[in-house]
Structure 1
Amino acid sequence: MNENEWIKEFPAAITVCDEEGILLEMNNKAAKGYENEGGRKLIGSNMLDCHPELARTKTERLLASRAKNVYTVEKNGVKKLIYQSPWYKNGQYAGFVEMSLEIPFGDLPHFIRS
Structure 2
Amino acid sequence: MEPLCSWSTEVGFPVTICDKEGIIVGMNHKSIEYYSDEGGDTLLGKSLLDCHPEPSRSKLKDLLRNPRPNTYLTQSKEEKIFVHQTPWFVNGIYLGFVEILIRFPSPAEEY
TM range (shorter): 0.7 to 0.9
Percent identity over the alignment is 39
**CA drift at 1:4:** 2.1
Structure-to-structure mapping, 1:39-54, within 5 angstroms: 39-54=40-55
SS at match of 2:59: helix
The whole-number CA distance in structure 2 between the counterparts of 1:50 and 1:95 is 16
2:36 matches 1:28: no
Higher radius of gyration, 1 or 2:
1
1:81 corresponds to 2:82: yes
Q: Could you say which residue in structure 2 is the equivalent of 1:112?
A: none
Which residue does 1:56 correspond to in 2?
A: 57
Per the normalisation by structure 2, the TM-score is 0.88
TM-score (norm 1): 0.85
Unaligned runs of 5+ in 2: none
Deviation at 1:54, TM superposition (A): 1.1
Please tell me whether residue 103 in structure 1 is matched to residue 107 in structure 2. Answer: no
Q: What is aligned with 2:94?
A: 93
Q: Where in structure 1 are there 5+ consecutive unaligned residues?
A: 110-114
Please state whether the residue corresponding to 2:86 is helix, strand or coil.
strand
